[in-house]
Amino acid sequence: MNRRTQMSLLLLAGASGAVDALAFTVLGTVFAGVMTGNLVLLGVAVGHLGHGSGSGEGMSAPLYALGGYVAGAALVAFLCRGAARCPEWPGRVVACLAAQGVLLAGVAVVAGVCDGRPDAVGRTVLLVVAAVSMGGQSAAMVAAGSGAAPTTYFTGTLTTLVTGFADGSRREGGQPWVAARLLAVVGGAVCAVAVHTAAPAWGFVPPALFTAAAVACHKPAQRLRRAVTPVHKNPLHGTNNETH
């Protein structure tokens, strides 16, 4: 992957860390992008309910997050189906990431109106929208194929990095960039929580900015134009020859 793509992945990882940190600390003690954690939280809630020590309320937030994530991932997978997988992200992938940025910007605006402390209904709505955006981001990276990497879940990335160093195989190329993505997740979380603590109304702005910067790295106007412009036949050649 080229440097521009690697920078986009770093920024998306930072956005993921920021969204999950805010979801956990502000929106309901659940995650917007780490669905493994939400499944565990859901299991804990069901376990407490089964022993009569819970009211079932703990199940709501994980279910909302799971539903939003699945909806976002399914929608982006549908929109990006058939996209060519190459080092340059297809225009449809960039368009979906741009839409994700719009969703996160909307979350930031609504949270700002609520001074960064939404009520119960507001928390639920913002959690679902944030989860939709994270599901969409994950699906976009899948659609981008070999020109991308995970930016919302990192257990496999961490395992590959550690085992590659431990056994000397270095299974995944670009080890410094892989490590940088892990640090970006932490950095995004630190940034979002620090901003929300210092100025709650602005706390949800960092994820939107990180996503916008990631999209900007990929020349969105050019990528989107290629996504909607059909391939034309070269008039200087026969009808069986097409330009590429």
Q: Which of 59, 54, 64 is nearest to 23 (CA)?
A: 64
pLDDT value of position 194:
98
Mean pLDDT of 227-243: 44
157: confidence class by pLDDT, cuts 50, 70, 90: confident
Q: Yes or no: say if 184 and 152 are a contact pair by the CB < 8 Å rule.
A: no
pLDDT value of position 56:
60
Half-sphere exposure of 223 (CA within 13 A, CB side): 22
Domain ranges of the chain: 3-27+67-227
pLDDT value of position 220:
59
* Burial (CB count <10 Å: 0-12, 13-18, 19+), residue 2: exposed
pLDDT at 156 over 70: yes
Most distant CA atoms of the chain, gap in Å: 77
Q: Give the torsion through C-alpha atoms of 69, 72, 75, 81, to 10 deg.
A: -80
- The percentage of the chain sitting over the pLDDT mark of 90, rounded to a whole number, equals 58
Lowest mean pLDDT among 15-24, 107-116, 146-155: 146-155
Each residue's pLDDT tens digit, 90-133: 889 999 999 999 999 999 999 999 999 999 999 999 999 999 99
- The percentage of the chain sitting over the pLDDT mark of 70, rounded to a whole number, equals 82
Q: Which of 127, 97, 98, 110 is nearest to 28 (CA)?
A: 127
More confident residue, 212 or 168: 212
Lowest mean pLDDT among 50-54, 77-81, 181-185, 221-225: 221-225
pLDDT value of position 87:
59
Each residue's pLDDT tens digit, 70-80: 999 999 999 99
pLDDT at 83 over 80: no
Q: Which of 22, 26, 66 is nearest to 42 (CA)?
A: 66
- DSSP assignments along the chain, one per residue: --HHHHHHHHHHHHHHHHHHHHIIIIIISS-SS-HHHHHHHHHHHHHHHHTT---SGGGHHHHHHHHHHHHHHHHHHHHTTT---SSSPPHHHHHHHHHHHHHHHHHHHHHHHTTT---HHHHHHHHHHHHHHHHHHHHHHHHHGGG---SS--HHHHHHHHHHHHHS---SS-HHHHHHHHHHHHHHHHHHHHHHHH-GGGTTHHHHHHHHHHHHTT-HHHHHHHHHSPPPBPTTS-TT-B--
Distance of alpha carbon 69 from alpha carbon 46, whole angstroms: 20
pLDDT value of position 239:
42
More confident residue, 192 or 238: 192
Angle at 155 (CA atoms; ends 64, 2), nearest 5 degrees: 105
pLDDT value of position 54:
55
